[in-house]
């Protein structure tokens, strides 16, 4: 039991102290899991990250599940994940209860109009860096543009777009692989 609580608490700290999730969480994970607790090696942590990025779900949660599983099996995976999600649930729930009475205030409205400008800038940066990382070939550019157009102007379900993209990738690999073998 003590080990489960230790897993829970370690991931609680990681979830509660890192802003932004995803890649920005790597230094904190490294400090807690590799250097302090010595639960996993640095290579294992990077493996977790790679797996976390190629599996659905939130990367931070995937990493907590993976490390928890390596340590203590299924129960460890559940405890680690619970630790990771607890701070968000506590903090955001508290914030929401407090915010709802607060959103209609004139000052808050002014502040929000300013904040929206920054949200636009942050999101634009996210898209640009994602595009740089993912649009690495003509095929990728075509898929990226097609997905944008479909999502903007049609009612095609988002899930379907992702699934079709995966199938295209697998077919492409098959054709490429076939051509190589002939």
Partner 1 sequence: MNNLIWLLFYEFFKIGLFAVGGGPATIPYLMDLAEKYDWFTMEDVTNMIAISESTPGPLGLNMATYVGVDALGVFGGAWASIALTIPSIIVIVLVAKFLNNFSQNRWVKAAFYTIRPAVAGLIAAAVYNVFVVSLFVEQAGEKVLAIKTCILFVIVFALMKVKKLGKLHPVVWLIGAALVGIIFQF
Q: State the nearest-atom distance from the C-beta of 52 to partner 1, in Å.
A: 8
Q: Which residues contact 15 (CB under 8 A, 6 or more apart)?
A: 60, 64, 83, 84, 85, 86, 87, 88
Write the interaction track for partner 1 spanning residues 143-182; mark x where CB under 8 A is met and - where it is not.
xxxxxxxxxx----xxx-xx-xxxxxxx-xx---x-----
**In terms of CB distance, is 5 or 112 closer to partner 1?**
112
Could you tell me which stretch among 1-9, 33-41, 84-92 binds partner 1 (CB under 8 A)?
Answer: 84-92
Rounded CA separation 180/174 (Å): 10
Place of tokens 């400008």: 117
Supply φ then ψ for residue 56, to 5 degrees. -65, 160
Residues 19-38 that bind partner 1 (CB under 8 A): 19-22, 25
Q: Are the C-beta atoms of residues 52 and 63 closer than 8 Å to each other? A: yes
Helix axes 59-99, 2-17, angle to 10 degrees: 70
Q: State the nearest-atom distance from the C-beta of 1 to partner 1, in Å.
A: 20
Write the interaction track for partner 1 spanning residues 88-127; mark x where CB under 8 A is met and - where it is not.
xx-xxx-xxx-x-------x--xxxxxxxxxxxxxxxxxx
Residue 41 engages partner 1 in binding (rule: CB under 8 A):
no
């Amino acid at each position: 039991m003590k080990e489960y609580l230790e897993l829970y608490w370690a991931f609680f700290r990681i979830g509660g102290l890192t802003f932004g999730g995803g890649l920005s969480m790597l230094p904190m994970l490294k400090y807690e899991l590799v250097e302090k607790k010595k639960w996993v090696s640095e290579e294992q942590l990077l493996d977790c990250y790679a797996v976390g990025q190629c599996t659905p779900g939130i990367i931070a949660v995937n990493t907590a599940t993976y490390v928890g599983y390596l340590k203590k099996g299924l129960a460890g995976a559940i405890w680690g994940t619970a630790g990771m999600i607890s701070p968000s649930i506590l903090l955001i729930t508290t914030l929401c209860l407090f915010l709802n009475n607060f959103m209609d205030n004139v000052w808050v409205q002014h502040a929000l109009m300013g904040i929206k400008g920054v949200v636009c800038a942050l999101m634009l940066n996210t898209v640009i860096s994602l595009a740089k990382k993912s649009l690495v070939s003509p095929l990728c550019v075509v898929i990226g543009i097609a997905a944008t157009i479909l999502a903007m102007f049609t009612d095609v379900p988002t899930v379907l777009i992702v699934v079709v993209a995966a199938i295209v990738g697998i077919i492409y690999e098959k054709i490429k692989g076939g051509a190589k073998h002939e």
